[in-house]
Chains A and B, each alone.
Chain A
């Protein structure tokens, strides 16, 4: 039994602090994922809360058929897909300002970098929900296709198709020519 399984078991046995430990352990990956999915902190903060509240309420029904982290990311994905974003506009410039630019660069280079990042953020935001989830999990989370299939509750073949379709769209949008 790994650490998460022990914590889940302890929580189910009535130990509330075990859930606190799970929050501390996974709040950052959950936040980063929903932030990449929504593109802004406001929505990401609401969704992070929602994910842990949903987890808290349903942890007693968690069957342990997959790892806790996979289960939690599935909740996060569903929360993002359910979410009717209050802010549909793409990432604002102020939000791009938040991203740390390498300190060794001058202001012109930084401005140029931020413009490039903005383009990327907008392109990712424009993807359909499940394709966006697959790409974010793969590229920024480093998950295998098998893990993503578990998180998205679909086959590996569907994950392959989603990531492929998403990459083609991103490639078309971000300027690289599509010739095939």
Chain B
């Protein structure tokens, strides 16, 4: 009887030690754990494994990989409406323009590429703009990545 009862909590123990769970699930689990040494032992054992798995740091993205990915995507998606590269570069440039990084004084006419990005898409980019800015700046610093 107790065996079956506890089996119900096995999945929940694993769910709770591996990541977010709904509050009510957590409450019910805690209530059971406080009165069941067997499940508490399970909890501890699984927690230990999870702690070991989480010890491994995030793999680093090798330097230059985003630029490489950009070149590869350009090759793979070539041929539609000027291709991905022009648009990708434009996204970076558009963000640069949006952030005022490109000086209007030194560039009375914005680069042709910015025309690819409509103002309406620029407006969709609040979260992406910072990434695009960094990315666009890196591309500009290295010249045309072809």
Contacts and interface: CB of A to CB of B under 8 A. Distances in A.
Interface of A: 3, 6-7, 10, 14-21, 23-25, 27-28, 31-32, 35-36, 41, 44-45, 48-49, 52-53, 56, 98-100, 113, 116-117, 120-121, 124, 135, 138-140, 142-145, 160-161, 163-164, 167, 170-171, 174, 176-178, 180
**Which has the most chain B C-beta neighbours within 10 Å: A24, A144, A161?**
A24
Given A10-B124, A56-B77, A117-B55, 7 more contacts: A56-B73, A100-B57, A116-B55, A138-B19, A163-B14, A167-B46, A174-B52
B11 interface: yes
A100 B60 contact: yes
- Please classify the interface of chain A as helix (H, G, I), strand (E, B), loop, or mixed, using the class held by over half of its residues: helix
A157 to B, nearest CB: 9
B61 interface: yes
A20 B84 contact: yes
B88 interface: yes
Contacts of A48: 69
B120 to A, nearest CB: 7
Contacts, number: 153
Contacts of B125: 3, 21
Contacts of A56: 73, 76-77, 84
Contact of B18 (A15, A23, A163): A163
A163 B58 CA distance: 20
B94 A17 contact: yes
B54 interface: yes
